[in-house]
Amino acid sequence: METAEITDIQKKILQGAFGMFCQRGIKSVSMDDIAQHLAMSKKTLYKWFKNKDQVVYDSTTAYLHTIQNDCECFINKADNAIDELFQIMQLTKKVFSIIHPSVFHDLQKYHRDSWDLWMKHKNSFMLGIVKQNIERGMQEGLFRKDLDVEVMARMRLALIELPFNAEVYPPHQYNIKHVQLAVLEHYMLGMATLKGHKLINEYKQVTEEE
């Protein structure tokens, strides 16, 4: 069908372009680079996308949709709130092993619509997921009962972007993936009860003196 063919072509372009953005950053990738990478003419590229900004927006939309589906899948399969966070930790490793450190900066500075899309995703979907996880952990006795859910959830969202702040963690000195995982572990341990700490150590296969 024609519609299926169009969808396949667009999907190929968006996947190829997003892969390049992840490897090199968004600013350094041109429409010429994308066309050459995909072995297609610029004319074909512009048939489906009016400019680079649309490619960035649509590829960001597709990627965030994938991340949402993955998160929901992990949540549904998780045995408890801490298991859920460890599942998300694996997703974090995957995501930050491929994303170039400049991506968030490029989105914010050069592609405001796509940045707004990320912010909407963060402040709606992600905030909701984090709140649900904290509330679940409190109900399961794994997280402290005195937590301010709203404050902790918004702190978590801020921590997600922190490793990309070059003033705090210069990319030539710090591995973003390592920083992300260290920050997530610190966040998790800070909320945990004794029961939660023991479970975290079980998942980490760590024996800790009490």
Q: Is residue 33 part of a domain?
A: no
Domain residues for the domain of 65 are 51-204
List the structure tokens of 5.
Answer: 């063919």
Cα gap 188→174, rounded to integer Å: 21
The pTM of this model reads: 0.83
Helix (H, G, I), strand (E, B) or coil at 186: helix
The total number of structural domains in the chain stands at 1
Q: Say which CATH number the domain at 79 has.
A: 1.10.357.10
Assess whether pLDDT exceeds 60 at residue 209. no
- Quickly list H helices, 78-173: 81-96, 103-110, 112-120, 127-139, 149-161
Instruction: From residue 54, give the alpha-carbon distance in Å to each of 5, 39, 174.
Output: 20, 20, 32
Amino acid at 53: D
- The residues pairing with 143 across neighbouring beta strands, listed in sequence order, are 192
Quick check: is 123 in a domain? yes
Q: CA 80 → CA 25, 34, 184, distances in Å?
A: 36, 43, 17
Q: What is the pLDDT of residues 155-164, one digit of tens each?
A: 999 988 888 8
Provide CB contacts within 8 A for 153, sequence distance 6+.
127, 130, 131, 134
pLDDT value at 1 more than 80: no
Amino acid, res. 188: M
The two tokens of residue 57 are: 């927006």
Confidence of residue 22 (pLDDT cuts 50, 70, 90): very high
Q: Supply the pLDDT for residue 7.
A: 73
On whether residue 42 sits in a domain, the answer given is no
Task: Check: CB of residue 80 under 8 Å from CB of residue 133.
Answer: no
pLDDT given at position 126: 92
Checking if the pLDDT of 204 tops 70, the result is yes
Is 175 inside a domain boundary?
yes
Q: What is the pLDDT of residues 112-123, one digit of tens each?
A: 999 999 999 999
| Average confidence score pLDDT of the chain | 90
